[in-house]
Amino acid sequence: MALDAWLPIGFELPDGAKARVASFEGVDWQVYETQGGGRALVVHDELGACWQDAGLIDEGTFDAFQFGDHQLRAISCGPSQILSPVSEAKSPDNKAEALSFALALKATRDIDSESALQDALYVEKITRLLPTYSISSRTGDDVVLGYWLTGGASIPATSFRRLRQTMAG
Domain assignments of the chain as residue spans, ordered by start: 19-77, 83-168
Written as tens digits, the pLDDT of the chain (169 aa) is: 568 999 999 999 999 999 999 999 999 999 999 999 999 999 999 999 999 999 999 999 999 999 999 999 999 999 999 999 998 978 898 999 999 999 999 999 999 999 999 999 999 999 999 999 988 778 899 999 988 888 888 888 888 787 677 766 5
Burial of 95 (0-12, 13-18, 19+ CB in 10 A): exposed
Q: CA 21 to CA 1: how far, in whole Å? A: 12
Kind plus residue range of the DSSP H or E element containing 128: strand 128-130
Instruction: For domain 19-77, give the CATH number.
Output: 3.30.200
Nearest 10 degrees: Cα torsion 62, 68, 70, 73 = -10
Is 119 within 8 Å of 136 (Cβ atoms)?
yes
Helices and strands, counts by H and E, the chain: 4, 8
